[in-house]
Amino acid sequence: MTTIHEPVTTTATPEELSVWPSSTTEPRPGDATVGGVSLAEVAGRYGTPVYVLDEGEVRRRCRTYRDAFPETEVHYAAKAFLCRAMAHWVMDEGLGLDVCSAGELELAVAAGFPADRIVLHGNAKTPHDLKRALWYGVGRIVIDSPSEIARIAAAVGPDGHQKVMVRVVPGISAGGHDKIRTGTEDQKFGLSISDGYAQHAIARILDQPQLELTGLHCHLGSQITDVKPYLAAVRRMAGLMARLKEQHGLTLRELDIGGGHGVAYRPGEPAMDLTRLARKVRAELAEACAAAGLTVPRLIIEPGRAVVGPAGVALYRVVSVKHTGGRTFVAVDGGMSDNPRPALYGVRYAPRLVGRRGSADLAPVTVVGRHCEAGDVLAADARLPDDVRAGDLIAVPVAGAYHLSMASGYNAVGRPPVVAVHDGRARLLVRRESLEDIHSRDVGL
């Protein structure tokens, strides 16, 4: 595929395109391109559903983080989306990597990602997870429960060495939905400051000579667009660091405040201002450490969604349009098996008709998936041209994070492929899951 060089005569407004990759153009009305590649051509070549990932946008967002946080260690949160190409882009741009399982770790290492730039997370790390992490030599393991201390120490052995951090619950509520708020006391992650479990775990780690405690970790949640929760977290973590210095003479050199930086899914929605976040967090950390007589620790952050989410576009083919009960349902050939987020969190998107110029008159529609669930809704309050019909191509922006990484095998439909676009070229990163793939796992009668 080659880049189209025709004059741009777009029908989309700048506001509508604000949630699309920055490379998005419309050389002809309705014919949207991303990374110089026509989305209609991608759908024709690779079929639908298909996920399009703008390599240039991913790299640009990695550089934005490096520029906004120049003295900070930035780790990409692989749970948002990971494939070998994604790991390679992140590595190229100088970021580290957070993984939550042996599977994510193996995939990253297979792409050539240095293990010492990888951090292992997880509230319930299996023996296999820990074994592979230690075998590869990951940079740090984040301890999430007291039982992990003895398990890691035993696995390392008396002559071994492993850097660890402790995930602390700072008691701060932040995030776009109850199910993605992880900084409060009433969820499964981390060790609480208020009940003393975090302090007790730290004391136990200090008794294990083969474990090197490098710092503290916290993660408040996801889809946070306000800077204030991070500032509160910095103050509480600095307070704990001061108490640890007083009690144990311990000076911790790292502070990881997690990620969760919010992005806009629809035009007009707020997103995290990274420049402001960086400036405010650095100032708050310096002030809190000065007040407590602490050396300022190296800051670590863990963006995932904010790196890859806005770089992705999901393409679906309309299967049917149904008018019933006073509503219009536009059914597409994907759904909750490739994007469960609307069903889980009530996420709202702004889909667009691409591939042809539709009617200028927009109508309210509900874009639904093909699965046998009433909750299989991709966009409950979308506005599409009133002449939308079967065979049309629908594009959903901000589809790079937590779609395919959370995909399922529901209805044995098969997960869609991932196609990278960059400089007018498209290439397959992850192939479509076929029926043969699904059948091959079924080994008995």
Q: What is the pairing mode between strands 352-354 and 393-397?
A: antiparallel
For residue 213, give the 3-state DSSP assignment.
Answer: strand
* Residue of 62, 83, 100, 372 marked active site: 372
DSSP of 183-194: SSTTSSSSEEST
62 in active site: no
**Secondary structure letter of residue 336 according to DSSP:** T
Cα–Cα distances in angstroms (integers) from residue 47 to residues 43, 51, 118, in the given order? 5, 10, 35
Amino acid at 294: L
Radius of gyration from C-alpha coordinates of the chain? 23
Which residues make beta-bridge pairs with 30?
Answer: none
Residue of 28, 77, 32 lying closest to 309 (CA atoms): 77
Q: Does the CA dihedral 273-279-285-288 come out positive or negative?
A: negative
Whole-number Å distance between alpha carbons of 324 and 322? 6
Tokens standing for residue 172: 């701060």
Question: For residue 48, how many C-alpha atoms fall within 13 Å in the half-sphere facing its CB?
Answer: 25
End-to-end CA distance of the chain: 46
Report which of 110, 64, 102, 58 is spatially closest to residue 80, judged by C-alpha positions.
58
CA distance 361 to 386: 6
Q: Which of 178, 267, 191 shows the shortest CA–CA distance to 223?
A: 178
* Beta partners for residue 298, in sequence order: 254
d(CA 232, CA 228) in angstroms, rounded, equals: 6
Q: Are 4 and 38 in contact (CB under 8 A)?
A: yes
Residue written as token pair 């704990």: 240
How far is Cα 159 from Cα 154, in angstroms, rounded to an integer? 10
Residues that are catalytic: 372
